[in-house]
Structures are given as C-alpha cells and as structure tokens.
C-alpha cells in the first residue's frame, strides 16, 4: 500500500503553503481564483482527500499550532524546555503539540507535520535532510544554527560558556582536563562523531587535554563513562560532562570509586538543571537560558505566521549561556 497523500504533498506540488491549501480545499477567502484552481488541480492529480477530522477543525481552529520535537522526555532538560515552550505558546495564543524523537527526529517531524503549521525542535540531521522530510513545513532548529531557506534557528551560545569555564578552572588550579562526550551520534550516523561541545572544549583546553571518553546520555551512563575516564587518565583534575544528567552520574561515581570532588577532580555539567542542587557536592553547570530559548522561538514562529508560513530566508537568534557555580568545581 502506498503512502497516504498529505496536505503537505499538495502544498509542495502546487508551490504554496499548507494554509493556502486549507483555504482552497475549504472554499475560504483570502485566495485568488487562479491559486485556488492550482491547488485543486494538484490535489486531484495526487488523489488527496482531506480527512473528516481535518475538515471538522477548519471552523473550530482559532489559533495556529506549533509542533515541538524534543530528543527525550526522560531527560529533565527537555521536559523543562517543553514546559517553558508550552507557557510561552499559551501566552501568545498558540497551540503546542509535543513529540519525543528518542533517536528518530525525522519520524517525529513527520508525525507532527500534518497537524501543525511549523515545527521547532532538536535535530541531529542536516538542514537539507530536515527540509526534505518536512515537505514545505517551516522548521525552527533549537540550539544549532541553520543556513537554508525554510529552516530557521535559535542557537544557544554554549561555546562561550565552555571557554569561560575552562578559563575559570585554570584560575582555580586545574592543569589536566578531561571530558565525557555523548554517544548519540552513533544512533544517527552509525558511528561516533565528536560533538560541537567536544570541539569547543578541546580548542579551549589545548595541550592540557588528557583524554575524552564517550557515554550514554543518562545518569548511569555518565557514571560509567566518568569511572572509565579516571581509570584511563588518572591525572585528570577537571572534567566537563556533556550534560547535567551525565554529570550527576559522575558525582555519584566519584563517591563510589573514592575520588574527592572538588578536592581531587572538579566536575562541570551543561544545562543548568535544578537537580544539580540535589547531589553532594552540588553540581556546577554551564546554565542555558531556556526561557529565552522559548521566547525567541515564538518570536520566529510569529514572523513565519505573518509570512503565511512560506519559505523565506533563514531567521536566526542567539541566546547566551552562563556558569552557575556550585561546589563541585
């Protein structure tokens, strides 16, 4: 059985937005007769028929809908982002639909594509791959910069936070630096590739780098990877963990293997989770401004709405990070 034709397929074939297809199929105003005919011809050619559910929404829908793709709802960092995005969307009169990719962001994107006007999210794929998968639906990348028309972005400047953290750790006496990086690229590309965080960290540390190991993005995964790092590189006295969840595991692991924190090794995470206060010693972290991430995302989404969700030049925003000093470093 072939894949069901969607409203996005019709929009792509007719060279119009999803909203224009909706207007044409439902005989609504704000559309020229030539455009309406072009859409109807494309729909007939493709064999598209709107579902009864979709038709029932036409008269009831008072707001636009934003889709949010997060990497995992098991990580409190992403649930915090979802909460901030939900609050910001509600304040601006937008509906929000959420999907967790759990390693397959394209599938999550396609799941939301027929139900929303624009999708924002965390994606490991390239801009071109995302644009192809979206079939004309506008996308807002979160935390990484975009370059293609139709793919927009809100970037978090983690690099400056890493540079500041390395500088401060040196001032506190650190001489041999290690890192635990994420293994998530293995799921996407089939083999590990260094993350931007690792590249920024190694550039900031220079010849003081002792070693890097890779771990699963979980508390237990971070704990195991930290123990491996200390086994392979016992001279390490400062460690950057890929995220706070892994860093919580590193603090626990340090207790288990008898490594004093911060006396023997200083540990820093990335995210700014409130959970960092729940370990002993409390976790130092490069804190990301999630509220600004949400507000900048909705700013872009509202620009896209004014442009009828057409393919326009990439819109880019940037949010800075800052170090939240606690006792682990």
Please tell me the pTM assigned to this model.
0.74
Residue 309 forms part of a structural domain: no
Distance from C-alpha of 52 to C-alpha of 113, rounded to nearest angstrom:
18
Which residue is listed with tokens 């590189």? 233
Distance from C-alpha of 175 to C-alpha of 163, rounded to nearest angstrom:
15
Structure-token pair, residue 46: 């493709």
Residue 311 forms part of a structural domain: no
Residue 238 sits in a domain whose CATH number is 3.40.50.2300
- What pLDDT, on a 0 to 100 scale, did the predictor assign at position 303? 92
For 27, residues 6+ apart whose C-beta sits below 8 A from its C-beta are: none
Residue 118 forms part of a structural domain: no
Structure-token pair, residue 108: 């999550």
Q: 10-residue block means of pLDDT along the chain (329 residues)?
A: 66 82 73 84 77 46 79 87 94 90 76 83 83 81 86 93 97 97 78 92 97 95 98 97 97 96 97 92 95 95 86 90 95
Nearest to 28 by CA among 70, 58, 71: 58
Residue 52 sits in a domain whose CATH number is 1.10.260.40
Nearest to 84 by CA among 323, 314, 288, 313: 288
Distance from C-alpha of 128 to C-alpha of 151, rounded to nearest angstrom:
9
Structurally, the chain folds into a number of domains equal to 2
- What pLDDT, on a 0 to 100 scale, did the predictor assign at position 2? 46
| Domain that residue 250 falls in | 158-288
Distance from C-alpha of 200 to C-alpha of 303, rounded to nearest angstrom:
32
Residue 150 forms part of a structural domain: no
Last residue of a domain, which of 61, 85, 113?
61
Residue 83 forms part of a structural domain: no
For 181, residues 6+ apart whose C-beta sits below 8 A from its C-beta are: 194, 195, 197, 198, 212, 213, 214, 215, 242
């Amino acid at each position: 059985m072939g894949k069901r034709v969607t409203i996005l397929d019709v929009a792509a074939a007719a060279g119009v937005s999803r909203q224009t297809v909706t207007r044409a199929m439902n005989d609504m105003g704000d559309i020229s007769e030539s455009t309406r005919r072009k859409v109807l011809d494309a729909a007939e050619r493709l064999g598209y028929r709107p579902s009864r559910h979709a038709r029932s929404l036409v008269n009831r829908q008072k707001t636009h809908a934003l889709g949010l793709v997060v990497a995992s709802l098991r990580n409190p960092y992403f649930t915090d982002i979802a909460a901030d995005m939900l609050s910001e969307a509600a304040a601006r009169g937008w509906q929000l639909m959420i999907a967790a990719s759990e390693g397959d962001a394209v599938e999550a994107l396609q799941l939301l594509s027929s139900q929303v006007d624009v999708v924002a999210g965390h994606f490991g794929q390239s801009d071109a791959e995302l644009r192809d998968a979206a079939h004309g639906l506008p996308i807002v990348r979160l935390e990484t910069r975009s370059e293609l028309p139709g793919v927009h972005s809100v970037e978090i400047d983690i690099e400056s936070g890493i540079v500041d953290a390395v500088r401060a750790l040196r001032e506190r006496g650190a001489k041999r630096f290690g890192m635990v990086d994420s293994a998530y690229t293995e799921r996407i590309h089939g083999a590990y590739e260094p993350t931007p965080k690792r590249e920024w960290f190694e550039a900031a540390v220079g010849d003081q780098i002792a070693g890097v190991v890779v771990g699963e993005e979980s508390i237990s995964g971070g704990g195991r990877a930290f123990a491996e790092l200390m086994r392979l590189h016992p001279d390490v006295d400062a460690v950057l963990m890929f995220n706070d969840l892994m860093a919580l595991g590193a603090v626990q692991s340090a207790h288990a293997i008898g490594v004093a924190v911060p006396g023997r090794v200083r540990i820093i995470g990335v995210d700014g989770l409130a959970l960092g206060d729940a370990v002993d010693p409390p976790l130092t972290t490069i804190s990301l401004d999630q509220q600004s991430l949400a507000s900048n995302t909705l700013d872009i989404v509202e620009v896209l709405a004014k442009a009828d969700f057409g393919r326009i030049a990439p819109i880019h925003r940037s949010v800075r990070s800052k170090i939240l000093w606690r006792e682990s470093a």
